[in-house]
Amino acid sequence: MENSIGNNLPRVKVQNQFSIKEIVYKFGPISRIEIADRLGLTLPTITTSVSSMIKNGLLKEVEQDHSVKSLGRRTMLVDINENSRRFMGIAIRGTVRNGVIVDTRGHVLASLRDERSFSDYEASIKSAADLFSSLLKKANLIQEDIFGVGLTMPGIVDKEEGRLIIHPGYKWKDKNVMEDFSSLTGYKGMVSVENNTIARAYALVMFEGKVLEDADSMAYMFVSAGIGCPLLNSVKTHFGNVTGDGEVGHMIMEIDGDPCLCGNRGCLEAYSSEKTIIEKANKAMKEGKTPVLSSIYEKKQFLDIADVLEASEKGDEEVKKIIFKAIRYLGLAIANIENFVRPEYMVIEGKIFDVEENRKVLMNVVYKNLYRGTFQDLKLHFKSSDDLSGAVGASAVAIKRDLESFLE
C-alpha cells in the first residue's frame, strides 16, 4: 500500500512532495522558482522533486506564454498533466446514484445515472458497484486505469475508516462503505468516502477555485433533500481543512417546532429541505389550492422539486408562499452562520436558487438578520445546480487522496 511506504519515509520529504503538488495544482502553470518561493524551500529541492513527478507522469512541462516573455531563453513552467490519470466519483443517495470518470483536473469524460429509488443501503451500494462497471465499459477502460474512486453520501462519514456513521433521514447506520464497495467490485485501488456536501466544497476549491477570489475560508451551503453547510479553512493556498460536520440542517430554528426525521423538533430541514417543500406543496395540492401543480401532477403522477418550482413560477401563489417560507428559514440560518463564523466566502447551491427571484428573497432575509448589517463584508456566490455536482465532488475526493499519497 502506498500509505505504508509513506510511513517509512522522512515525514518532511512526504510533506514537501504533497505541498509541491498542491501548489502546482492550485497555481499551475507555475515556475520552479515560484514554487520554491511560495513554500520557502530551496530550488534544488523543488527541481529534484518536480523531475521525479514529471518522470512519473503526474506533472508536465509547459512553455511560458510567448506574449509574456519573447526575449531570451524561454522559462519552462510546471503544470498538472491532467491526462495522465483517470478517477471515478460516485454520489450515492437512496433516490439516485450518479457516477463520473474524470481526468486529474476534474473534467468529466463519462457519466452515468441510476434513477431507481432504494430505501435500503445494501441495494444502493450494489447500484454504485454496478455503476462502476458500466462506467468503465462506457469509457472503454479497465479497473487498473482508475487511480482512485471517491464515494459520497449524505450523513456523517468517518473518512479515515471509510464508514458511514449515520444518515438519520435514510435510517442507515454504521456501514463500512469502503469495504463493501471494494468487495462488490473487486477494485484494488484506493476508495475514499466523504460526506456529499464536504465533497462538493472540495470540488469547488480544486476545480473552480477562481470564484473564491482571495478568500481563505469558505462555507458551502447545499440545499437538497437535506441541508448541509461545511466550513473550510485555508483554501487560499491549500485544498482546505474542514471544521466540524456542517450539519446545519439540524440547527434548531424553532422551539417546539415541526418534527424532523432526526427525532428532534424545529430543525432547519423540517422547514427548508426540498423534501419538506415537496411535502407541503403536495398537501396544498390535495387541498385544491394549486391549479398549476395539479395539472403537472396529472401528467406525471409524482412531484419533484423542479415541478414545485415550475408551479410557483407559473402562478401557484400557494406554492410560492411555501417556497418563500422555506427560504426565510434558510436566510436566517445563513445569517446565523455568518454572525457566528464570518467565513470570507459563502457558496450556495440548491435547485430553488436557480430561480432569480428566490435568490433575491434569500438575500433580503440574510441582510435583515446580519449583526450590525455588515453586509458589504459578505461575499456570496450562487452555484447553479447540476445533477453531476455530487459525482464530480466525489471525484475531487479521490483526486485529493491520490495527490496526498507519496510517489517514488
Q: Which residues bind Zn ion (CB under 5 A)?
A: 250, 260, 262, 264, 267
* Least separation in angstroms between CB 390 and Zn ion: 21
* Least separation in angstroms between CB 277 and Zn ion: 16
d(CA 228, CA 349): 10
196 forms beta bridges with none
Taking the least distance from each CB to Zn ion, the nearer of 247 and 316 is 247
* Least separation in angstroms between CB 365 and Zn ion: 21
Taking the least distance from each CB to Zn ion, the nearer of 54 and 262 is 262
Q: Are strands 97-102 and 108-114 parallel, antiparallel or unpaired?
A: antiparallel
* Least separation in angstroms between CB 272 and Zn ion: 11
* Least separation in angstroms between CB 169 and Zn ion: 9
Q: Which is nearest to 92 in space by CA: 65, 141, 56, 129? A: 129
Rg of the chain taking only CA atoms, in angstroms: 23
Taking the least distance from each CB to Zn ion, the nearer of 243 and 264 is 264
Taking the least distance from each CB to Zn ion, the nearer of 218 and 267 is 267
For residue 286, the tally of other CB atoms under 10 A from its CB is: 11
Nine cell digits for residue 326: 422555506
DSSP strands (E only) in 47-186: 59-63, 76-80, 86-92, 97-102, 108-114, 146-153, 156-158, 163-167, 172-175
* Least separation in angstroms between CB 261 and Zn ion: 6
Nine cell digits for residue 96: 439516485
Taking the least distance from each CB to Zn ion, the nearer of 154 and 162 is 154
Which run of H or of E encompasses 269?
helix 269-272
Asked if 88 and 150 touch (Cβ cutoff 8 Å), the reply is: yes
Taking the least distance from each CB to Zn ion, the nearer of 108 and 252 is 252
Residue 42, SS3 per DSSP: coil
For residue 190, which amino acid is it?
A: M
Taking the least distance from each CB to Zn ion, the nearer of 89 and 226 is 226
* Least separation in angstroms between CB 254 and Zn ion: 12
